[in-house]
Amino acid sequence: MRLTALLAVPLVAAGLSGSTALSSKPVISQPVPASQCYAGEAVVYSCRFGRSLGSVCGTAHALHYRFGPAGKPALDLSSAPDWSNVRVGQVRGQGSGGYQEHLRFTNGNTHYIVYRGQNGELADNPGYSYSGISVQAGHDGGRTLASLSCKGKMMAAGSLADAASVRAPADLDIAEAEGGAFDGWF
C-alpha cells in the first residue's frame, strides 16, 4: 500500500479527506526536549544532562531553576521577591559573532549558572554553539562543583538575559557587576 493511501485512512475517518491533504508530504517533527517547566510556565532554557534535566522556567514575574530527574526535580530555586538571588551576564568577544550569556541563581554560597554562547570568528571553532550549567561554590564562585555541557537538543529563549529582565521588576538592574567575579566566560 502506498504512503498516501496509508495517510488517507485516518484523514477520511476524521472527515479530512480531500486532494490537499492527500497530496501533502507527511510532516516529520523532531522530538522536543523535555523540561522541568509546569503548565503555564515558559521554557527559558532546558537540556538533558544524563538522567537529569536542567531547566529555567518563567512565569509573569518569576524565574525558576530546576534540576533533577524529569518531573521530580531534586532542586527547585525560584527568584526571590526582590530578585536578589538572580543575575544575568553577557560577554562578547573572540571576534565578530562571539558571545556568551548566562543566568545565575544563588542559594547561600552556591551559584547555579545556566549559560549558552557561540564562538566568534577568531575562535578555534568559529560559529560553534554551546550551552550548559556550571555549579560554583564560595562568595566569589571560586570553586567549581560541577560543569555540565549540554550534548543534546537544547531549548532556549531568544535571549536568556531578556527573558529574565522582562520578568524582573521594571526598576531593578539584575546585571552582573561589571568586572565582578561572575562577569566572564563559563
Pairing outcome for strands 99-107 and 86-92 = antiparallel
Residue 175 DSSP label: B
Q: For position 95, what pLDDT does the model report?
A: 67
Cα–chain center distance at 83: 19
Sequential DSSP letters for 114-131:
EEEEE--TTSSSTT-EEE
pTM greater than 0.75 (yes/no): yes
CB hemisphere CA count around 145 (13 angstroms): 11
Distance separating alpha carbons of residues 179 and 168, to the nearest angstrom: 22
Q: Give the mean pLDDT per block of 10 residues along the chain (186 residues).
A: 30 32 43 79 95 96 96 95 95 76 96 91 79 93 94 89 94 90 78
